[in-house]
Amino acid sequence: MPSSPTFEDFVAMHGRTLGGFALLITGNHHDAQDVLQEALIGLYPKWRRVVEQGDPLAYVRRSIVNRHLSAGRKLRRLVSLDHGRVPSTDPIRAVDGREWALSMLATLPERQRVAVVLRVMEGREFAEIADALGVSEGNARKIVSRGVAALRARPTEEES
């Protein structure tokens, strides 16, 4: 029976991918680094159990989503300001495709952004999205649909 990977091997193998996932979920590099670090810190003491129970990659992705959504709820409780998004890029300057995609995702409300990333970019099933967001499967479908519709209504990179 092959030995399971060490925590360090797991981070070395998947750290970059998880960092990209966290960036898509949070919409900015600083928050992405924070939620990824928190997720990995939370995983470390549970490493053996998580490996024995199944897929540690899925565990960390779920933890990233949960931590991001939890941080947003905490912030909204602390600050009673309108948290509407301000465009993160100057529309005049040219941006590469990655920055454009991130800026487009950043325009979505938090739950829609998470749902769209999980469905479109990660290929997750609606049941998984519903579980991650703590909603019914039908509501998860609605959130994804609205997020995708909002993105389609925005100008494409070439039109910007």
User: In angstroms, rounded to a whole number, what is the distance separating the alpha carbons of residues 132 and 118?
Assistant: 9
Decide if pLDDT at 97 tops 60. no
pLDDT tens figures, 48-81:
999 999 889 989 998 998 888 876 654 444 333 3
Which class for 160: exposed (0-12), middle (13-18), buried (19 or more C-beta within 10 A)? middle
User: Over the Cα atoms of the chain, what is R_g?
Assistant: 17
Could you tell me how many residues make up the chain?
Answer: 160
The predicted model scores a pTM of 0.60
Segment 13-45, tens digit of pLDDT: 999 999 999 998 888 898 899 999 999 999 999
Confidence class for position 98, pLDDT limits 50, 70, 90: low
Query: Mean pLDDT for the chain?
Result: 78
pLDDT at 154 over 60: yes
Q: Please report which confidence band the pLDDT of residue 95 belongs to, taking 50, 70 and 90 as the band edges.
A: very low
pLDDT score recorded for residue 73: 54
Tokens found for residue 75:
């912030």
Contact 137/119 with Cβ under 8 angstroms?
no
How distant, in Å, are the alpha carbons of 48, 78, 128 from that of 124? 25, 32, 6
φ and ψ of 87, to 5 deg: -50, 130
